[in-house]
Amino acid sequence: MLIGVIADDFTGASDIANTLAKGTAPEGGLVTAQFAGVPEGAAPVGIEAGVISLKSRTAPVAEAVADSLAALEWLLAQGCQQILFKYCSTFDSTPQGNIGPVAEALAARMGASGVVVCPAFPGAGRTVYQGHLFVFDRLLSDSGMQHHPLTPMTDPDIRRVLAAQTTASVGHVAAPVVRAGSTAVAQALEMARARGEIFCVTDAVSDDDLLTIGTALADARLITGGSGIALGLPRNLIRAGHAAGGRMAGSAVAGPAAILAGSCSGATLGQVARHAAANPTLAIDVAQVMAGQVTADTLMAFYASHAGAAPLAFSSGTPDEVRATQDRFGRAEVAHRLDTLFAETARLLLRAGFRRFVVAGGETSGAVAQAVAAELAQPALRIGPEIDPGVPILSLDGPAPVALALKSGNFGAPDFFAKALEKMETA
């Protein structure tokens, strides 16, 4: 294995796995697999990039650090020479962590400094300029992320956020340096190491910037960022003769489908509304879930009664609705009960013969992916064709193949759900 990725949630893991598998023209990408948690045994033969999916984004800081270090040790044992800590392109965290503490622990374990910090993903409207994170034409703090129920982002200055989360010194590689080329970026990072700066927030406003940065990182042992920072990494390995290039082929998967949505982002709410206009939907009453009146059996009955269609069950709500529910029952308890509900439902769906799963929301995706992988005893998910930017088809082979699409809340076109199910059948 050449590159190892530690991702702090499941949709983010799918996003960067897609980037590594797709690569850039004409070189292509790497043979990539996504793992539901840290595997117990060795990686399958032939995997060039391994992405470990954790649920560390909203875990207690100590747990997030411990899980990430465990993932690091497994990846190093597989022979990885380059490690990438992947977090969301909106830098989802709190003033206490978890991005800073995890990155600091990884840097300490690897003896790394001058480590790039770059959440930019221009294809999804996320750019970094003057050390500040933008979502399209808005600062992160004005983008809607300031209302996120778990990781509200109220400060767009990534240097300041990192400084609050870590004891490390934080530098900056500005846009003019990036535009001067990869040699200039590499020199700036070397100067940062000489100054004792552990991290360097690096500006990027286009894919060309990310490719420039990627070239400068050919020999970097530790990198942190959103999925965009991986854009140029396969090219480095292919040009050096360490990888052949190309991409893993997809496999068509038919059969009953289920859509599960647990995100309250504006994009997901719009996707739910569009899908509901022509397809069976079930709005999950969270209060009834907390009271034990809505269970996995309830959801299974809904899906079974619409097995020939494209049924969608969702717990999504507006920020005010979500906040009111959390105030009433407690944020952690609500999240736990919903994760458990979706995981148990996924197991029942598999046993009932459902073979296509489309999931919205990082926490929900993590719960479903872990349940599916455990039920099928297959920890490695193969990366297939891209549905929308940042969202590939994931597949588990076997006598009855299974396909999944794990969508971050803000990702995907308005018709994403229908598009995902169609592409699974024709992959």
Ranges 40-44, 293-297, 394-398, 404-408, most confident: 293-297
Looking at the predicted structure, is the pLDDT value of residue 261 above 60?
Answer: yes
Q: Are residues 160 and 291 in the same domain?
A: no
pLDDT for position 247: 64
pLDDT for position 153: 93
Which CATH number characterizes residue 348's domain? 3.40.980.20
Least confident of 9-18, 190-199, 339-348: 9-18
Q: 142-149 long-range CB contacts below 8 Å, 24 or more apart?
A: 143/90, 144/265, 144/266, 145/90, 145/92, 147/319, 148/92, 149/264, 149/319, 149/322, 149/323, 149/326, 149/331
Q: Within 10 A of 42 (CB to CB), how many other CB atoms are there?
A: 11
Q: Are residues 201 and 289 in the same domain?
A: no
Q: Are residues 232 and 267 in the same domain?
A: no
Looking at the predicted structure, is the pLDDT value of residue 249 above 90?
Answer: no
The pTM of this model reads 0.85
Q: Are residues 325 and 207 in the same domain?
A: no
In a domain, 166, yes or no: yes
| Distance separating alpha carbons of residues 51 and 380, to the nearest angstrom | 9
Looking at the predicted structure, is the pLDDT value of residue 15 above 70?
Answer: yes
| Domain region containing 15 | 3-239
In a domain, 250, yes or no: no
Residue at 272: amino acid letter: V
- Domain total for the chain? 2
| Distance separating alpha carbons of residues 413 and 30, to the nearest angstrom | 26
Best CA proximity match to 91, nearest among 19, 9, 23, 170: 9
- Kindly tell me the burial class for residue 147, based on how many C-beta atoms sit within 10 Å of its own C-beta (0-12, 13-18, 19 or more): middle
| Distance separating alpha carbons of residues 229 and 71, to the nearest angstrom | 20
Q: Are residues 66 and 110 in the same domain?
A: yes
| Distance separating alpha carbons of residues 18 and 123, to the nearest angstrom | 13
Q: Are residues 265 and 186 in the same domain?
A: no
* 256: alpha, beta or left? (left if phi > 0; alpha if psi -120 to 50): beta
pLDDT for position 10: 86
Tell me the average pLDDT of the chain: 93
pLDDT, tens only, 54-104: 989 989 999 999 999 999 999 999 999 999 999 999 999 988 899 999 999
Inter-CA distances, 10 with 51, 65, 377, Å: 10, 17, 18
Please indicate whether residue 210 or residue 382 has the higher confidence score (pLDDT): 210
| Distance separating alpha carbons of residues 177 and 165, to the nearest angstrom | 26
| Angle CA 295–299–301, to nearest 5 | 110
Residue at 399: amino acid letter: P
Least confident of 74-78, 189-193, 362-366: 362-366
Residue 108 binned pLDDT confidence (cut-offs 50, 70, 90): very high
Q: Are residues 266 and 185 in the same domain?
A: no
pLDDT for position 95: 87
In a domain, 381, yes or no: yes
Which CATH number characterizes residue 131's domain? 3.40.50.10840
Residue 123 binned pLDDT confidence (cut-offs 50, 70, 90): confident
pLDDT for position 248: 56
Q: Within 10 A of 234 (CB to CB), how many other CB atoms are there?
A: 29
Q: Are residues 32 and 75 in the same domain?
A: yes
Buried b (16+ CB within 10 A) or exposed e, 70-100: ebbebbeeeebebbbbbbbbbbbbbeebbbb
Q: Are residues 276 and 203 in the same domain?
A: no
Q: How many CA atoms within 13 Å lie on the side-chain side of 109?
A: 17
Looking at the predicted structure, is the pLDDT value of residue 335 above 90?
Answer: no
pLDDT for position 290: 94
pLDDT, tens only, 134-176: 999 999 999 989 988 789 999 999 999 999 999 999 999 999 9
Q: Are residues 30 and 156 in the same domain?
A: yes
| Distance separating alpha carbons of residues 169 and 331, to the nearest angstrom | 33
